[in-house]
Structure 1
Amino acid sequence: MRRGKFLVPLLVLVCVAGAIAQGFDPERYERNKAALGGNQGISAKSLLVHNDYIAVQLDDNPSADYGRFNIGTWPENRTLTYAYPSDPWSSWVIVRVDGESYVAPGGGPSCDELEPLTSAPFSIYDWPTDPDSSYIYGGWYVPDYPDISVYQMLQPVYLVYPDDTTGTIFIKYRIINNDTECHWIGVLLQLDTMIGDNDAAPLSTILGYSGIEEDFWNCDTCEFPCYWFAYEDPAGPAGDPDQLIAMGILCGFEATPPDRFAVGAWST
Structure 2
Amino acid sequence: MGKMVRKRMNKIEIFLKIFIILILFTGIQAVSMSAMAIEGDLKSKEAIRSLSSDVVVLNNSYIEIAVSQIGRFTIGTTGGDPATHQDDNKILLFGHPVPGTSFTTIRIDDSNFEYGSSGILVEPPIISDNSIVSKWRIKDIDVTQRLSPVKSSSGYEDTVRISYIVKNNGNRTQRVGTRIMMDTMLGNNDAAPFRIPGYGAVTKETQFNGSRIPPEWIAYDSLSNPAVTSRGILKVPERLAPDKFILMNWARIYGTKWNITTIPEENGDSSVGIWWYPDNLEAGQSRTYTTYYGIAYIQITPKVLTVGLNSRPSVHQGDTFTITSFIENTGDLKAENVKVMISLPSGLELVSGETQVRSIGNLKKHDSGQASWNVKAKSPGTLVYQVTAASTTTGIYQTIAYKQVNVIPGPIPPVPELSTALLISGGLMGLFGLSRLKRKTLIIENAIRQKIRFHFKP
Per-residue deviation, 1:29: 5.2
Give the direction of change, closer, same or farther, for the CA distance of 1:52–1:177 in structure 2 (3 Å limit). same
The corresponding residue for 2:21 is: 42
- Give the conservation status (yes or no) of the 8 Å contact 1:117–1:149: no
The corresponding residue for 2:235 is: 251
Are 1:148 and 2:141 counterparts? Answer: yes
TM-score, normalised on structure 2?
Answer: 0.43
- Give the conservation status (yes or no) of the 8 Å contact 2:205–2:247: yes
The corresponding residue for 1:232 is: 221
Letter in 1 for 2:11: K
Per-residue deviation, 1:166: 6.3
The corresponding residue for 2:90 is: 78
Per-residue deviation, 1:38: 9.5
- Give the conservation status (yes or no) of the 8 Å contact 1:48–1:56: yes
CA-atom RMSD, angstroms? 2.4
Matches within 5 A, 1:123-162: 123-126=126-129, 134-142=130-138, 145=139, 147-160=140-153
Letter in 1 for 2:118: L
Deviations 1:27-59 (A, max 9, x none): 765433122459544227111111210110100
Give the direction of change, closer, same or farther, for the CA distance of 1:212–1:166 in structure 2 (3 Å limit). farther
TM-score, normalised on structure 1?
Answer: 0.72
The corresponding residue for 2:244 is: 260
In our comparison, the structure showing a higher alpha carbon Rg is 2
The corresponding residue for 1:177 is: 168
Alpha-carbon distance in 2 for matches of 1:49, 1:24? 39
Q: Which has the higher strand share?
A: 2
Q: Which runs of 4+ in 1 moved over 6 A?
A: 23-28
The corresponding residue for 1:213 is: 205
Give the direction of change, closer, same or farther, for the CA distance of 1:261–1:38 in structure 2 (3 Å limit). farther
Alpha-carbon distance in 2 for matches of 1:213, 1:266? 10
SS at match of 2:10: helix
Alpha-carbon distance in 1 for matches of 2:8, 2:76? 19
Q: Which runs of 5+ in 1 are unaligned?
A: 1-22, 61-65, 106-112, 127-133
* Length, aligned pairs only: 212
Matches within 5 A, 1:7-26: none
SS at match of 2:96: coil
SS at match of 2:21: coil
SS at match of 1:169: strand
Alpha-carbon distance in 1 for matches of 2:118, 2:220? 32
Letter in 2 for 1:69: F
Letter in 2 for 1:257: A
Alpha-carbon distance in 2 for matches of 1:138, 1:178? 17
The corresponding residue for 2:110 is: 99
SS at match of 1:123: strand
Letter in 2 for 1:138: S
